[in-house]
Amino acid sequence: MKILIINCGSSSLKYEIYQMPLKQSLGKGLVERIGLTDGKISQEYNDSKYEKTMSIPNHRIAFEQMMLAILDKDKGILNSITDIKGIGHRVVHGGEQYSASIVIDEDVKKAIEINCELAPLHNPANLTGIEEAEAIFKNIPQVAVFDTAFHQTLPPSAYLYGIPREFYEKYRIRRYGFHGTSHRYVSGLALHMMKRSAENTNMITCHLGNGASITAIQAGRSIDTSMGFTPLEGLMMGTRSGDLDPSIIFYLEERGFDFHELQSILNKKSGLLGLSGISSDLRDIEAAALRGNQDAIETLDTYAYRIRRYIGAYVANLIKVDIIVFTGGIGQFGVSMRKRICSRLENIGIHINRDLNNQIGANAGIISQDYSPITILVIPTNEELQIAIDTYELITGDFLPHDSEDSVS
């Protein structure tokens, strides 16, 4: 069964095709600059690459171009549109309605639309992707996989804010959390790698990339996560500020900064980029730090400190922690940053093996000392594969276990 994975943004369309139940990626592509005259589509299939530049005025044209690329005679992925038997969509916000992935019907689409006010930059585009896919792939089942779903198991003590309760009841202001598909994927793989069951395992998963979040998982259920009402809360990220005193906003407003300007600063000009003044890319900052740039050194220290602070808090709340997972672009590839983060966590049972950390690099494996009470893992995330798995399971009713080759000896 071939499953098409769709991640539709306001100006982009990412897609990937999986052969299920083999969990094999057949090819993937990206349509960029939707709404502009110099739109671009690029697609990778085996050793061939399909590229085209053209005007892509709207998402309907983007989907049409996607299909032309997928079915291209020389560089396409499939021979016929009928090869696709299911479509999985990444949807950012499911609100409190959905705690799991679901086959899309009219009620699901209405819920996604209702939650557009909670995710105005993402849900409208996600809904557009669903509607455009319906127009092309008539009568093919579609599945919504929500970024927020995994965190719907948070207890009230973790998701409520210390503000008037009516703001939660009337305006739905609470912690929702994001990156749920990634946290769910790597936590499931961690259990398989360590040959453990969810029921007797607690872990902390660290998704560190341009966007970053940490989740505390108890018996397979998310019980706390760093992102909140929006993805802005929590860790310092590539361009997002993460946690800060809310009064800073009022202070800056009094000095002439308007709402839209502050929103842009906190989401697009802060984090690693804003604090370093160099880049949102950790590699650029690490290179500057090696040259003695003090701003870069302080940025790296701040980034690692914020992560350690969340890990410490989650260890305290979980009481017993068995596994900590590093994933995401920085978590997987940031060998030096993993070492920096773990270097002061020995007192709570997290002992990194620096040689193993260097040897593992960006591969999956254990990087903790043999005597470490908490096992430290590096696991590459694959949200597209998790969406494909969910889609396959919901369409067929068959459960897919993790592959045996994912084990760590």
Distance CA 270, CA 159 (A): 25
Backbone φ and ψ of 240, nearest 5°:
-95, 145
| Residue 147 among the catalytic residues | yes
Which distant-in-sequence residues (6+ apart) come within 8 Å of 112 by Cβ?
Answer: 91, 93, 94, 123, 126, 127, 130, 144
Catalytic residue among 38, 147, 281, 322: 147
Q: Which two tokens stand for residue 199?
A: 């029921």
Number of residues that make up the chain: 409
* C-alpha to C-alpha distance for 231 and 243, rounded to whole angstroms: 11
How far, in Å, CA of 304 to CA of 238, rounded? 13
Residue whose token pair is 């341009």: 210
| Three-class DSSP category at 170 | helix
Residues 6+ apart with CB under 8 A from 339: 352, 354, 357
Q: How many CB atoms lie within 10 A of CB 191?
A: 19
Pairing of strands 365-366, 375-378: antiparallel
CA pseudo-torsion sign 189, 123, 233, 221: negative
Torsion sign across C-alpha atoms 274, 278, 279, 283: negative
Residue 79, CB-side half-sphere exposure with 13 Å CA sphere: 0
Q: Which tokens hold the place of 316?
A: 């305290």
- Let me know: does 65 contact 50? Beta carbons within 8 Å: no
Question: Which helix (H) or strand (E) segment is 114 a member of?
Answer: helix 106-114
The rounded distance, in Å, linking the Cα atoms of 171 and 199 is 35
Distance from C-alpha of 363 to C-alpha of 333, rounded to nearest angstrom: 8
Residues 227 and 177: beta-carbon distance below 8 Å: yes
Q: Which residues are known to be catalytic?
A: 147
